[in-house]
Structure 1
Amino acid sequence: MNSDTVCAIRRSLLFSAVPAGDAAVLLDGHGTLTLNDGDVVFAEGAPADFLFLVLSGDVLIDASPASPQLRLSAGDTAGEEAVLTGAPHAATARAAGPVTLLSMPAGTLMGYLESHFDVAIAMISAMAGNLREQVREITELKMQSTAERLASYLLALAGDATGKAVVRLPYEKRHLADHLGMDPATLSRAFAKLRDKGVVASRTDKVEIADVATLRTYGDCAAFTA
């Protein structure tokens, strides 16, 4: 058993209540998948035969064509709500760039949970908390204009920086557009609208912010709409 795989399970919030000695039980029959950009992890309406743990890279969840997408990264799980309820997948998941996933058979997980009620309750609680956070994020994004969404995202990347800051986008702009619920052309227009707020995007992944406080004021006050 690969010790790195066991450690990945232990670091996952969903599996935080699983005793250390039981990780190997959950990994019985598991597999490791390496996917390329755009490859489907699971499709909407498909049976939930596996739960997926992101080991590296990012996965996008398409809740609906009109909504911002959810982005999962290393340590996040995908498909757990379908596996734990026995329902088909409610959305499609795709690789956003190269991604490596651990696939856990649904039958293995459910068999374990049947005899570990306390762990099952802890998993449901963790899943509910994660769902609340995802709903909050999507709700906030949908209430903002496209430029406001972009400003909020850039401010999150800037963190506690003050004054002038340079941030780097963690993935391609087309994937950023997907995450923010817009198409690439709309993202370009949003960047253009932020120029008078001191935001300059390069052709690569670098974005310069002339003054973080000015951008933050814009985001708080919603100075204009898209």
Structure 2
Amino acid sequence: MFSAVPAADAATLLEGHLAQVLPDGAEVFAEGAAAEFLFLLLEGEILIQPPGASPQFRLTAGDTVGEEAVLTGMPHAATARAAGSVSLIALPAGKLMAYLESHFEVAIVMISAMAGHLREQVREITELKMQSTAERLASYLLALAGDATGRAVVRLPYEKRHLADHLGMDPATLSRAFAKLRDKGVVASRTDKVEIADVTELRIYGDCAAFTA
């Protein structure tokens, strides 16, 4: 998002920034709140929680947080919370917008980057809503398995309660989804390890099956 900002200008934009370290579950900003800062995520993950029962999604180190509200001047459309301990830099929105008003070419690059990011988020949420809970879980595990074939062991990058949030379900529903996938050779341990007996078979299921939640 800041690729078009010259190094000297970046240093200027960082003047007056706030460095924050937040614990697990801490609120970064609330839905409906005014966008006072643009956040740069240095370490950890942030969970974006849209209103209602929409699936949630995560931002990781290197991502910006809250840019859609800052750049449009609108209130935040979702709540953002720390998923584990996080380290952030908070840039004052007023300083950033004043800079962009006099650097139109940089503003265009930032808006283009934001649009691409939002398209990806909308695609992910749309796909999640169209799948059953078991299919969502299968797709997620396949993404972790990558190009593997045959037997594979993957490790969940975060706790199962956070995985449930990401997939748009509660922990009990996630447990039932894992149970449904046992017939497809998926075995989850009590830790972060998940064994897949045959990635190819699971991939066929992810493409074609029609379990109901």
Instruction: For 2:179 and 2:194, locate their aligned partners in 1 and report how far apart those are by CA, in whole Å.
Output: 12
Question: Which residue of 1 is the match for residue 52 of structure 2?
Answer: 65
The alignment-based identity, stated in percent, is 82
Aligned 8 A contact 1:28 1:108 in 2: no
Deviation at 1:111, TM superposition (A): 1.3
Could you tell me how far apart the structure 1 residues matched to 2:142 and 2:6 are? 38
| Residue 49, structure 1, aligned to residue 36, structure 2 | yes
- 1:79-121 Cα deviation digits (max 9, x unpaired): 1111111111111000011111111010111111111100001
Q: How far does residue 197 in structure 1 lie from its aligned partner after superposition?
A: 0.4
1:101 to 76, 83, 88: 88
Paired residues of 2:34 and 2:76 also in contact (CA < 8 A): yes
Matched, 1:86 2:86: no
Give the corresponding residue for 1:183.
170
1:10 matched residue in structure 2: none
Rounded to whole Å, the distance in 2 between the matches of 1:28 and 1:111 is 13
1:3 aligned partner: none
- 1:36 matched to 2:23: yes
Q: Which aligned pairs between 1:112-191 and structure 2 lie closer than 5 A?
A: 112-191=99-178
1:225: Cα distance to partner?
Answer: 2.5
Q: Secondary structure at the match of 1:58?
A: strand
5+ long unaligned stretches in structure 1: 1-13
Most deviating of 20-29 and 168-177: 20-29
Correspondence for 2:180: 193
Deviation at 1:19, TM superposition (A): 1.7
Match of 1:201, as an amino acid? A
Structure 1 stretches of at least 4 aligned residues deviating more than 3 Å after TM superposition: none
1:207 pairs with 169, 194, 208, which one? 194
2-structure distance, mates of 1:17, 1:159: 32
TM-align CA RMSD: 0.9
The range that moved more, 20-29 or 167-176, is 20-29
Q: Secondary structure at the match of 1:215?
A: helix
CA distance in 1, matches of 2:209, 2:128: 13
TM-score (norm 1): 0.92
Q: Distance in 2 between matches of 1:137 and 1:24?
A: 34
**How many pairs does the alignment contain?**
213
Whole-angstrom distance in 1 between the partners of 2:198 and 2:143? 14
| Structure 1 position 223, deviation (Å) | 4.4
- SS state at 1:97 partner: strand
Aligned partners of 2:16 and 2:91 also within 8 Å: yes
